[in-house]
Amino acid sequence: MTKGEYRVGLYVSSSDIDIVDEIKRQTAHLIDLIDSIEEPKDVKWGGEIVRLKAQAQREFEGAAMWAVKSATKPRME
């Protein structure tokens, strides 16, 4: 299991809604892609890159949560 798959809960709960699974797969891919960005050895800038990567991953994780909610929320009458 990759970091992205773990973060979005790709295998935790399967949905009967295809778009939910696709949102989770795409988000997992983006989180893993960001994770693959190399961090410089320079201590001064290395911490900044780590921070930026973590923030980007959090933003995608949050966006996926809202997207899944929009796909699964019952429609109002």
Q: Is residue 77 part of a domain?
A: no
Whole-angstrom Cα distance, residue 7 to residue 1? 10
* Residue ranges in the chain whose pLDDT is less than 50: none
pLDDT, residue 10, reads 85
The amino acid at 59: E
Q: Is residue 58 part of a domain?
A: yes
- The reported pTM is 0.85
The total number of structural domains that make up the chain? 1
Q: Is residue 59 part of a domain?
A: yes
pLDDT, residue 47, reads 85
Q: Is residue 63 part of a domain?
A: yes
Whole-angstrom Cα distance, residue 26 to residue 45? 29
Full domain range(s) for residue 51:
3-10+17-72
How many other β-carbons are positioned within 10 Å of the β-carbon of residue 67? 17
